[in-house]
Amino acid sequence: MSIDAHRWLMTAVNAPLERASFRPEPGAADVVIAVAGCGVCHTDLGYLYDGVRTNHALPLALGHEVSGRVVATGAAAASWMGRTVIVPAVLPCGECDLCRRGHGTICRAQKMPGNDIQGGFATHIVVPGRGLCDVDLSRLEAAGLTLPEVSIVADALTTPYQAVQRAGVTPGSLAIVVGAGGVGGYCVQIARAFGARVVAIDVDEKKLEAISHHGAALTLDARALDGKALKAAVAAFAKKEGLRPTEWFVFECSGTAAGQLTAYSLLVHGATLSVVGFTMDKVEVRLSNLMAFDARALGNWGCPPESYPPALDLVLDGKVAIKPFVELHPLADINRVFAAVHHHEISKRAVLTPA
Amino acid sequence: MSIDAHRWLMTAVNAPLERASFRPEPGAADVVIAVAGCGVCHTDLGYLYDGVRTNHALPLALGHEVSGRVVATGAAAASWMGRTVIVPAVLPCGECDLCRRGHGTICRAQKMPGNDIQGGFATHIVVPGRGLCDVDLSRLEAAGLTLPEVSIVADALTTPYQAVQRAGVTPGSLAIVVGAGGVGGYCVQIARAFGARVVAIDVDEKKLEAISHHGAALTLDARALDGKALKAAVAAFAKKEGLRPTEWFVFECSGTAAGQLTAYSLLVHGATLSVVGFTMDKVEVRLSNLMAFDARALGNWGCPPESYPPALDLVLDGKVAIKPFVELHPLADINRVFAAVHHHEISKRAVLTPA
């Protein structure tokens, strides 16, 4: 087997990504995927611009939101050959004690493309042939979507899916999503698909306007309202809609200290605060409020591979719209696109396509 | 019915408690309990010295750790007459939507003696005749205990019981208790009774020494070790004992900012941090660590009445020792005892007895 491939390598913090050729060589249990699309995530920006450390030494191709087609396999992964798949952003080993006990999200041998192994800003990627999510091309076409577009299922969609599922949102719940951007927008839609009435909070009017057409029953501008006023507005909404004054589900998706403080201020009795976004920044909070409110805060790292098919179903069944929130760019433009996302000049999820 | 009774009223922050006579009058569904003992809790000190607000207006008798005997009842509570009981520190109404859905700990009509209603620093207390925990006097005697001593089951023991149960400690778990005092000491013993190997952390050598004889397999002095060193010491202990490096159960029982920071620094992958102690102070933490570690923080308010009998069983079956950690004082000495507890001159749980 000989495949001409290239990927874009991060060589240092703040340095331009560099194109490098390589020959994809699958191990016995690996597959080689011809990348259809790879989404640009907040996490990638954290590595490149903020100095968040990758587990794999540099140089490293970033990118963990990958869709594509299996074009080569090792001997033990032959059954994957030719299949169109989404690569889970976190791939548990499937064999360790944690995996066997159903805790794949904390598997210590897990592989995250663009962090533990070479990532998806590339023509090809080599990943373990395990837990990949099949994409039915006829259903995809019927849903008016393309394979590159659903790359974002690998993280932007499945991460909030896991958060909503783990938090236990049920019909009639009140969900509040702080940060209605790349991840939070899907969180709004998924919580709605789980039966919640959803309040979206952001500092960006455009994002609030967009999400008001996709699942948010109420949008609140955090620039105009402080924590107390936001809580009062949500409480008034709950009352008007006949929703509970207790047991709110708050999803922090902004990955900012300000967003985390807002989310924390929305705790009520029996509340669940899901920490979905990441920031290195610390926040000053009264931790005892968790005790006083009999509330809980749940961290969410990735999403188990077994939850990918039902998450993808939400997209293919038209319950979660992704088309309005994704835009495709050529992989060759990666440095320009990274800068534009970094400078908030692109508000949709940018997906880089090699073709 | 006419009972001569008195209670000690808090009239203002930092003012001496004042003895006041009253006539206990049960409502139709209430019972009058002749108090055998009432424990002095950190929470009572918070009301009296730190200005934490009680829900009931002052003057108010504090005290929510009550054992005693039912000496009068309303018509609808006649079945309680004559029974020896522990009064749960938080009494859910049992009838609202939250109670019916099993969320009694966040019942908005819940009654906490010494906060929502007149408390147990008194000869008598009037409480709803619902969810009281029967105390079998013959088992009590066989265990070498007295009714006043088991008053502390009402909060100091059941609060960590609920925390350990909710966190899901199982045989082979590694539990770490921060603050091995009035509540934390029982947390150590209960986690051990649930099958965990337990590490106790405190700043008080005497408390560590005491708990090393009652369930702590390792004690660590937080004055000698910073967060990183404590984590390394626990990790070394885990390795030596063949315990997991993941999924630690951390119980913050100190109710101090320093203790909360210590507890937070002990997060590992899949960890559960239970916030059991209360402080008004804020702490600065990287909330995203919950996400990065796929960890969770659980608040714990009180304990459902239905968990009191199994919690009491741990005491009566000799799995949790309370005798070494309790000392009785006459109720008439309440002002002296409060001051002594406040100034850390009494390290055991002080129980005030009217007799």
Ordered alpha helix ranges (H), chain B: 42-50, 97-100, 137-142, 158-167, 184-193, 205-211, 227-241, 257-265, 288-292, 308-316, 334-342
> Please, which pLDDT band fits residue A42 given cuts at 50, 70 and 90?
confident
Measure CB to CB from residue B290 to each of A106, A289, A297 and give the nearest one.
Answer: A297
Confidence of residue A114 (pLDDT cuts 50, 70, 90): very high
> Nearest CA to B109 among B96, B125, B100?
B96
Question: Tokens 């091995």 appear where?
Answer: B180
Would an 8 Å CB–CB cutoff place A265 in contact with chain B? no
Cβ-defined contact of A292 to B300 (cutoff 8 Å): no
Best of A55, A99, A287 to mutate (most B CBs within 10 Å, chain B): A287
CB-based contact B269 A297, cutoff 8 Å: no
Chain B contact for A52 (CB, 8 A cutoff) = no
Q: Which two tokens stand for residue B213?
A: 């004889």
What is the arithmetic mean of pLDDT over A224-249?
Answer: 97
Q: Could you give the count of Cα atoms lying within 13 Å of A263 in the half-sphere of its Cβ?
A: 34
What local confidence, expressed as pLDDT, does residue B77 receive? 97
> Which pLDDT score, from 0 to 100, does residue B154 have?
96
Return the percentage of chain A with pLDDT > 90, whole number. Answer: 95
Q: What is the pLDDT of residue B176?
A: 98
The pLDDT score that the predictor gives to residue B1 is 55
Could B269 and A106 be called an inter-chain contact, meaning their C-beta atoms sit closer than 8 Å? yes
Asked whether B194 and B218 are in contact (CB, 8 A), the reply is: no
- Distance of alpha carbon A99 from alpha carbon A110, whole angstroms: 10
Whether the predicted pLDDT of A96 surpasses 90:
yes
Cβ contact (<8 Å) for B297 and A301? no
Tell me if chain B has a CB within 8 Å of the CB of A108.
yes
Q: Testing the interface with A: which of B294, B300, B301, B303 to mutate, by most A Cβ within 10 A?
A: B294
Question: Cα separation of B172 and B151, whole Å?
Answer: 31
Q: Tell me which residue of B121, B109, B241, B118 sits closest to B175, measured CA to CA.
A: B241
Distance of CA A194 to the CA centre of its chain: 18
A108 contacts in chain B (CB < 8 Å): 246, 269
The closest CB to that of B285, out of A245, A282, A293, belongs to A282
Q: Can you say whether the dihedral through the CA atoms of A117, A119, A123, A124 is positive or negative?
A: positive
Two structure tokens written together for B252:
């913050």
pLDDT of A182 over the 90 cut: no
| Separation CA B264–CA A308 (nearest Å) | 31
Nearest to A285 among B108, B283, B292 (CB): B283
Asked whether the whole model's pTM tops 0.80, one would answer yes
Give pLDDT, residue B57. 97
Torsion of CA B155, B158, B159, B163, to 10 degrees: 180
Beta-carbon contacts of residue A254 (< 8 Å; ≥ 6 apart): A178, A179, A181, A184, A202, A260, A277
- Please determine, for residue A347, whether its predicted confidence score (pLDDT) is greater than 90: no
Mean pLDDT of chain A: 96
Cα–Cα distance for residue pair B56/A262, rounded to 1 Å: 30
Distance, CA of A34 to CA of A3 (rounded, Å): 10
State which residues of chain B have pLDDT below 50. Answer: none
Question: Which of A98, A281, A291 should one mutate to test binding to chain B, selecting the residue with the greatest count of B CBs within 10 A?
Answer: A291
Q: Are strands B124-128 and B133-134 parallel, antiparallel or unpaired?
A: unpaired
Cα B62 to Cα B9, B12, B156, B327: the distances in Å are 7, 12, 15, 19
pLDDT of residue A1: 54
Whether A223 shows a pLDDT value over 70: the answer reads yes
CA dist B175 → A208, A299, B159, B238 (Å): 43, 19, 16, 10
| Whole-Å CA distances, A239 to A235, B52, B262 | 6, 29, 39
Helix, strand, or coil (residue B6): strand
